[in-house]
Structure 1
């Protein structure tokens, strides 16, 4: 029996050595994958099920994304399942896309999810293949790769599925990467003397997932790209109701066409503040300091009747993020003083009854997504939308009810939202909030992070990322002067705001702003060669993105300068003094 085992090992070793000369099809088999499973003791407390393995070959697949451009790729998709020791009925599926041997560059990449999904399926994972890496996704143990966290959050009314919550919060991605790095090493027979570089890329929920790893597992990744992270989970989700509450306090819900007209006029007026007229507000801070919404009162607007619909992507996600995108009647009128009052108060952000700041909202020039009402076909009136992420968060995650729609905003004030935020922060601080500001261990590990955020993001305010950046800076380098603390941050953490950028992509209202498509390549250059990006390569009409806190300004000859502007920087700085505790 011992000789049989040794014989199998020797036979397998021959197969592994030959992989470098083999074609993709030669090793994209269940038999080969069975021999390279990451069964080493990785300290995860899991057991891999060898009978769960599948292997599927894909060749000449055309892929495209604003995050990685367009490419034609070949890969082998290996999936398998594992269970956590001591947990009954527990199954987690992971999927790894493997490049051909001649394209492998000793790299592993994890990609994250969006909304309440822990993965983005095949829309993000090709980025790994493009950079010569094995690319992994997880289903979090939720049942399959299409099942989202909210589907498994409640075990029953009033009973939280804490295992799923911690998996969604951080554990699943830790396991995915730990297994993925070892699987990569095994698959390509890479000796322990040769480093496997590991990376992460994700946006929105995926951005939060990336930070969940930085804050807990310092040496998990050599480099990360985190876009528009869903920091402060409780504050963010509850704040999606702020537009409805502000509208109720003013007694007016502006028709979507009125709000859209205000946005268009804002863009037209603030476009030139950056020194160039190109249809993009590259300095939303100057816009905030100088633009008066009252100047739009009396301007006409018109929109034809619409049957509704959602932008591209998963309909379930867009129903949550764009709940007001249902059928609408013809809209014809002029911008009103009350409409401007709603727009102005919304941009200013939530303030409680004591005049203290609760939270922040998107920059001027962003769409008023969270203030956009829905049309009630029965009453023929506009009313706040309650079916999005905000309403779902209150009913499901705070009230622990198996429902996704808040019944009404009756008696709900800014103070109510403040108290809901505090409740959720307390309940999910160690799982979903993801705001731990001391990442000294991450810096000490030599890891790097590039953090990007669309300046006109209407789902997660760009100032959210600035606030977290400053929380890290003040926590780690509070004893240094401002310039010195920025220089210290530059060694491992760089933030870039994308002018005119929307949520995790380019903006249909400001399309010339573009989006950075080679950000992962930039962090790879930084991690592997020490080449830190002073600016970030961008698409569209703006070639380069300035590193925070530098802000873009074009000179008369059309040259882009990245300048420091203390008044503008101050406009991004907030203290959430409505709470009696620190909100990082």
Structure 2
């Protein structure tokens, strides 16, 4: 959905890789068959009229030499495509973040021992306004649809035709990777355009876009008192987080600063200040009640769940700026996302819109968002064509994600399992990895980065499914201080009993403490069975 932060493109392909993933196509690299500048002009791409406005050679420096292609797909989908001088048949497209409006900075991924052997591209999703200002969407359905679902698709079509002209042949393998809004785009491509990419990475996907904006509205309202000020303040977040760690950190048999939210049973009342006081090391009664709500999630007045998730135990340090104001971003991010969506793009053009102040947390208001919400939603479970075409899907999410609760992604994956038969059958083409202690797309209290790109390449090109992917923790100076294996859901990493707890080699796969829960009942679960608009 909305979401806010995208996974930094600079991390793609940079994490530790297993020997099986160190693979590149065996044939010789392709060389350009025409000059970079010759790409300027019009490309007659069916359904995606494309204009290349500039094509400039960038000499080798921090990156290999490449042809920097800039242009747009009509009406206004701007893109950048980087074509390396040495090319081995791969195309990698990056997703966008937030409400987009900018072209994600791209890097050449390390697919193996060679560097820069893939063409890479990204798009602004069809409008030039970054940040929270969504007034561009008020009366422009074409701009909405470009952002909602069209831009990643037409960028792929345009890029592949430009690649074919430059190198004399189209890509042999195509990959898409994104987080947050980019994760939504990733699932959307697998669902609506199943033949477009061989391998897809969906990180922290904002796939239930409509419901996620309702969740942001609820977050904003849940932490605002009658005086208009935050109830749970930044000053109380360290207190709350330390109490969660004290109650739940050791439940996985290892005290390491990582919490399994599913196993945690923590009640903020344990932090209640005595005798009506408000001291630094405790919570007032309103703060206790608000924290309880945040950990429980949104419901209607009648108790119906409005979203399949809530703020996770262990995510508390990341609430700063998301649930509370910040000097850098002003109003809480949840408030800004919800308000701008409800005012400018959440309802069909020409119909009454809403705002955060007017929005009511009811089943009726949720359903009012469905008509337009079907366009950006990526909730469909019908991935049969993607599976049959040989596509491979890696979904990943941080357990401590403060912006998009990981529980919603787990719920989606459980529904995929139900749709495709068994966990084993689903894992043949789609796997979920959930990273302890990680916040939204990056950063965290213990693990801060996760990059499954090499493992996806190995799965697609070698048929080697990812049985473990290494997550990394770095300190404020960028030094690696922890590595941990992350195993396919629902497996967890269990310490073997010897060696450093910060070394991934000392951990083994283990079943979860309790069997995975089933799917959740909530007011929007019917959306999994309604396809969004498709432009084939």
Once the two structures are superposed, what CA deviation does each residue of 1:424-454 show, in whole Å capped at 9, x if it has no partner?
123221x111111110000000010111111
Aligned positions of 1:90-239 closer than 5 A:
90-101=75-86, 104-117=87-100, 120-122=103-105, 124-127=106-109, 130=115, 132-143=117-128, 150-155=134-139, 161-190=140-169, 196-239=172-215
Contact 1:208–1:226 under 8 Å retained in 2: yes
Contact 1:169–1:212 under 8 Å retained in 2: no
Cα distance, 1:121 vs structure 2: 2.3
Contact 1:211–1:434 under 8 Å retained in 2: yes
Say which SS state the counterpart of residue 164 (structure 1) adopts.
helix
Measure the CA separation in 1 of the matches of 2:158 and 2:332: 45
Query: Does residue 419 in structure 1 map to residue 398 in structure 2?
Result: no
Aligned positions of 1:422-433 closer than 5 A:
422-429=367-374, 431-433=375-377
Q: 1:560 aligns with which of 504, 507, 510?
A: 507
Contact 2:415–2:519 under 8 Å retained in 1: no
* Alignment-derived partner of residue 12 in structure 2: none
TM-score, normalised via structure 1 length: 0.72
Cα distance, 1:334 vs structure 2: 2.8
* Alignment-derived partner of residue 505 in structure 1: 442
Measure the CA separation in 2 of the matches of 1:57 and 1:472: 44
Once the two structures are superposed, what CA deviation does each residue of 1:170-219 show, in whole Å capped at 9, x if it has no partner?
211111112222322321223x7xx6110011110011111111111111
Contact 1:142–1:148 under 8 Å retained in 2: no
Structure with greater helix percent? 1
* Alignment-derived partner of residue 338 in structure 1: 286
Check 1:579–1:490 CA distance in 2 against 1; reply closer, same or farther (3 A cut): closer
* Alignment-derived partner of residue 158 in structure 1: none
Measure the CA separation in 1 of the matches of 2:396 and 2:491: 14
Query: Which consecutive residues of structure 1, in runs of 5 or more, have no partner in the other structure?
Result: 1-18, 62-71, 84-89, 156-160, 300-329, 377-382, 478-484
Contact 1:112–1:118 under 8 Å retained in 2: no
Measure the CA separation in 1 of the matches of 2:168 and 2:107: 22
Measure the CA separation in 2 of the matches of 1:374 and 1:513: 25
Cα distance, 1:515 vs structure 2: 1.8
Measure the CA separation in 2 of the matches of 1:284 and 1:239: 19
Contact 1:294–1:340 under 8 Å retained in 2: yes
Aligned Cα RMSD in Å? Answer: 3.5
* Alignment-derived partner of residue 286 in structure 1: 263
Once the two structures are superposed, what CA deviation does each residue of 1:506-535 show, in whole Å capped at 9, x if it has no partner?
21xx1x323223x11110110001011011
Q: 1:276 aligns with which of 231, 254, 260?
A: 254
Contact 2:471–2:483 under 8 Å retained in 1: yes
* Alignment-derived partner of residue 539 in structure 1: 472
Query: Does residue 267 in structure 1 map to residue 245 in structure 2?
Result: yes
Once the two structures are superposed, what CA deviation does each residue of 1:69-94 show, in whole Å capped at 9, x if it has no partner?
xxx444321123343xxxxxx34332
* Alignment-derived partner of residue 574 in structure 1: 520
Once the two structures are superposed, what CA deviation does each residue of 1:525-553 show, in whole Å capped at 9, x if it has no partner?
10001011011122222321011121233
Say which SS state the counterpart of residue 539 (structure 1) adopts.
strand
* Alignment-derived partner of residue 515 in structure 1: 449
Cα distance, 1:471 vs structure 2: 2.1
Q: 1:372 aligns with which of 299, 305, 323?
A: 323
* Alignment-derived partner of residue 15 in structure 2: none
Check 1:82–1:239 CA distance in 2 against 1; reply closer, same or farther (3 A cut): closer
Check 1:515–1:248 CA distance in 2 against 1; reply closer, same or farther (3 A cut): closer
Once the two structures are superposed, what CA deviation does each residue of 1:124-175 show, in whole Å capped at 9, x if it has no partner?
444389452111112334258x6988252123xxxxx221122112211111
Measure the CA separation in 2 of the matches of 1:419 and 1:294: 33
Say which SS state the counterpart of residue 100 (structure 2) adopts.
coil
Say which SS state the counterpart of residue 247 (structure 2) adopts.
helix
Measure the CA separation in 2 of the matches of 1:532 and 1:384: 40
* Alignment-derived partner of residue 347 in structure 1: 295
Measure the CA separation in 2 of the matches of 1:246 and 1:91: 38
Q: 1:490 aligns with which of 427, 444, 465?
A: 427
Aligned positions of 1:19-98 closer than 5 A:
29-31=36-38, 33-34=39-40, 39=43, 42-44=45-47, 46-49=48-51, 52-61=53-62, 72-83=63-74, 90-98=75-83
Check 1:248–1:147 CA distance in 2 against 1; reply closer, same or farther (3 A cut): closer
How many residues in Structure 1 have an aligned counterpart in Structure 2?
Answer: 472
Measure the CA separation in 2 of the matches of 1:219 and 1:264: 47
TM-score, normalised via structure 2 length: 0.78
Check 1:500–1:529 CA distance in 2 against 1; reply closer, same or farther (3 A cut): same
Q: Which structure would you say has the larger Rg?
A: 1
Q: Which stretch of the first structure deviates more once superposed, 210-219 or 173-182?
A: 173-182
Cα distance, 1:98 vs structure 2: 1.2
Query: Which consecutive residues of structure 2, in runs of 5 or more, have no partner in the other structure?
Result: 1-28, 474-481, 500-505, 530-536
Contact 1:235–1:425 under 8 Å retained in 2: no
